[in-house]
Structure 1
Amino acid sequence: MKKIILSLLLLTGLSAIKANAQMEAATKVKWDIEKDVVINMEMDNAWEIFSNNELLKKASNGYVSAIEVLDANMPISRKIVLSNGGSRVENITQNEAHNKLIAINFSDTSLPKGIKSAEYAIFIKAKDSKTAVVWRAKINGNEEAKKALIEQLTAEFDSYAVGLDKMTKKSVPAARMN
């Protein structure tokens, strides 16, 4: 229950709501990672990529070698195998097709040493005829471990940004000249 509440607070960026002038003012969540890209793809197609493990693996641009669903019941548990040989188990705590939002936290067993919690959210939004994909991550732990995980997740998000862009490129076969 605590993780669900934390995820809700994380996703809305609010830690308190002023009601009847009795509560303190809301404070904005300070994200440890903020990655935004605009891709030349329709929003529903981008959502399909994030909803399909094979397409998501392809979109990782080689960063992820496998995605295996361990438990399909909410929260959905899945194992992410990285191309460098590492892996992690993460839980999809929110998967809202109508809002184009996915919230994910690292399983306690996959938290690196020195990290107390790690979670990230993916927001997919229409932007004219293109789509904005937004990653936000919040990590709690000691500074050294936090810095290492921020570097890892930043590299992962960057790889997805490149992979998504590659998926929008249409190749035109060369015409044979005789």
Structure 2
Amino acid sequence: MKKIILSLLMLTSFSAYKANAQMGAAQKVKWDIEKEADINMELDAVWDVFQNNELLKKASDGYVSAIEVIDANMPISRKIGFSNGGNRLENITQNEAHNKLIAIDFVDSNLPKGIKAAQYAIFFKANGSKTNVKWRALVSGDSDAKQALVKQLTAEFDSYAAGLEKMTKKSIPAVRMN
């Protein structure tokens, strides 16, 4: 009986040791792009813009010319058309209304030459009557291709920040009619 108890004790201690040995230390993600903007809109209004392709296109301030959903099932596949004539296929892998988070991966077959993987995430957080929007992107590939894609994504994120801000401006009539 003593041997059985000792064997069970050793077995459980080894399995606990093995489980702990497999756990790696959490690593902080080093983003290639971090863009942040405070938008003068309520959180739900900004979230709604990112859920509506026509509003999202308008929010791009002319940078995006078309957004076409290819497959509406998760992961949501869509094709983004740019005003310069280019396009991108991407998959929305997370769209969490409760966390106000959208995560997007580039489709591997559509990656620019020299890029191995690319993804970005958009985080939304209420900041009083404003909304803080953060765009963060990770790009892996050779340095020249990575630098070009980082530049393109930075311009895209900048255009969304500018377009969202323009959407908050109220129009004032130029002439009063009597």
Deviations 1:149-170 (A, max 9, x none): 0000000000000000000000
Distance 1:22 1:99 in 2: 29
Aligned length: 160
Map 1:30-109 → 2, pairs under 5 A? 30-109=30-109
What secondary structure, in the 3-state scheme, does the structure 2 residue paired with 1:173 have? Answer: coil
- Alignment correspondent of 1:151: 151
Q: Please, which moves more after superposition, 167-176 or 61-70?
A: 167-176
Distance 1:177 1:125 in 2: 41
Deviations 1:85-138 (A, max 9, x none): 000100000000111100000001210000000000001110111100000000
Deviations 1:29-61 (A, max 9, x none): 000000000011000000000000000000000
- Alignment correspondent of 2:117: 117
TM-score between both structures, scaled by the size of structure 2: 0.86
What secondary structure, in the 3-state scheme, does the structure 1 residue paired with 2:94 have? Answer: strand
Distance 1:64 1:26 in 2: 36
The structure with the largest alpha-carbon Rg is 2
Distance 2:158 2:22 in 1: 43
AA aligned opposite 2:154: T
The runs of 4+ residues in structure 1 deviating greater than 3 Å are: 19-24
Unaligned runs of 5+ in 2: 1-18
Distance 1:159 1:81 in 2: 14
What secondary structure, in the 3-state scheme, does the structure 2 residue paired with 1:91 have? Answer: strand
Distance 1:176 1:130 in 2: 31
What secondary structure, in the 3-state scheme, does the structure 2 residue paired with 1:94 have? Answer: strand
- Alignment correspondent of 1:15: none
- Alignment correspondent of 2:169: 169
What secondary structure, in the 3-state scheme, does the structure 1 residue paired with 2:54 have? Answer: helix
Distance 2:99 2:156 in 1: 23
AA aligned opposite 2:151: E
Cα shift at 1:21: 7.9
TM-score between both structures, scaled by the size of structure 1: 0.86
Unaligned runs of 5+ in 1: 1-18
Superposition CA RMSD, Å: 1.5
Structure with more helix by fraction: 2
- Alignment correspondent of 1:27: 27
What secondary structure, in the 3-state scheme, does the structure 1 residue paired with 2:144 have? Answer: helix
